[in-house]
């Protein structure tokens, strides 16, 4: 396989389905690269999400506006997709904001091109189904965690499963993602550090 700017995406795809070189060329032919500056949005509330984007580099925050407050719902880093999947699939206006937290590059696939690939290539249809199932599981696990886990359990799980969030995101964003106030997160972190025998 020739290494190029699309190689990280192809490696990601290979984790779900095997595609031939010809099937990949059909896919690559309809992709486009997009560079974003820090603070630039992929999508804003009210816009229709026309693209599913794979992050080559950079990181993003997904948030909603609830009672005039920003509520962080997720983070995405290089090597993963970023999109308002509901808006993308339904072609209805988004309720989300997706913003670049640093300079970034994404690889975009338009909704119409995706539908064409589904019609022409069975392996891409299978890939789409597997990705949808993967995302559904993640969303369900997140909803159940918010419902049943304590704030400290949520933070511990985040540390274990998504250390990049802990290492790279401001505390106010992490607190919002966990559904707590920054002051509560500070107390949780202090308790955990004390239990580990470290200075606070």
Question: Distance between CA 117 and CA 109 in Å, rounded?
Answer: 10
Tens digits of residue pLDDT in 134-178:
988 988 998 999 889 999 999 999 999 999 999 999 999 999 999
Averaged pLDDT score across all residues of the chain = 92
> Does the CA dihedral 148-185-139-85 come out positive or negative?
positive
* Residue 200 confidence (pLDDT): 39
Tens digits of residue pLDDT in 92-119:
999 999 999 999 999 999 999 999 999 9
Q: How confident is the model at residue 194 (pLDDT cuts 50, 70, 90)?
A: confident
Taking CB atoms within 8 Å and a gap of at least 24, the contacts of 59-62 are: 59/100, 59/101, 59/102, 59/104, 59/164, 59/168, 60/98, 60/99, 60/100, 60/101, 60/104, 61/98, 61/99, 61/101, 61/169, 61/173, 62/96, 62/97, 62/98
- Are 106 and 55 a contacting pair, CB within 8 Å? yes
Per DSSP bridges, beta strands 104-110 and 51-57 are antiparallel
* Residue 135 confidence (pLDDT): 87
> Is the pLDDT confidence value at 25 over 50?
yes
Structure tokens at 174: 């992490």
Instruction: Provide the percentage of residues in the chain whose pLDDT is more than 90.
Output: 84
Q: How confident is the model at residue 90 (pLDDT cuts 50, 70, 90)?
A: very high
Q: How confident is the model at residue 198 (pLDDT cuts 50, 70, 90)?
A: low
Q: How confident is the model at residue 3 (pLDDT cuts 50, 70, 90)?
A: low
């Amino acid at each position: 396989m020739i290494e190029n700017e699309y190689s990280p995406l192809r490696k990601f795809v290979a984790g779900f389905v095997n595609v031939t070189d010809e099937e990949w060329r059909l896919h690559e032919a309809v992709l486009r690269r997009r560079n974003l500056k820090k603070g630039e949005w992929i999508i804003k509330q009210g816009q229709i999400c026309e693209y599913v984007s794979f992050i080559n580099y950079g990181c993003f925050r997904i948030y909603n506006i609830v009672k005039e407050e920003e509520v962080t719902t997720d983070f995405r880093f290089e090597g993963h997709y970023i999109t308002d999947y509901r808006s993308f699939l339904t072609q209805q206006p988004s309720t989300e904001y997706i913003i670049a937290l640093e300079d970034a590059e994404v690889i975009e696939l338009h909704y119409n091109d995706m539908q064409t690939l589904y019609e022409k290539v069975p392996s891409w249809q299978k890939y789409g189904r597997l990705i949808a199932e993967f995302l559904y599981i993640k969303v369900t696990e997140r909803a159940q965690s918010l419902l049943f886990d304590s704030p400290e359990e949520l933070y511990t799980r985040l540390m274990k499963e998504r250390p990049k969030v802990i290492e790279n995101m401001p505390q106010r964003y992490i607190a919002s993602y966990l559904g707590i106030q920054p002051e509560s997160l500070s107390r949780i972190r202090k308790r955990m550090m004390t239990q580990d025998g470290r200075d606070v």
